[in-house]
Amino acid sequence: MDEYRHVFRAAQAPAPRRAAYGGTVICVLFGIVIAAGGLIAWLV
């Protein structure tokens, strides 16, 4: 059980970094979608 807990903690360690990276990717994609929508609205 102690060994399992160690593995679990090691797997959990990079979680905040992964969450921050995912948030950054989502923000960038959202910005691209908004920019594309604005460009299409401007062209139409």
Q: What is the DSSP string of the chain?
A: -HHHHHHHHHHHTTHHHHHHHHHHHHHHHHHHHHHHHHHHHHH-
Residue 6: what pLDDT? 62
- pLDDT value of residue 32: 93
Residue 21 confidence (pLDDT):
77
pTM passes above 0.75 = no
> pLDDT of 2-43, one tens digit each?
666 666 666 666 666 767 777 788 889 999 999 999 989 988
Q: How confident is the model at residue 26, as a pLDDT?
A: 86
Tokens of 43: 């062209």
C-alpha 36/C-alpha 30 separation (Å) is 10
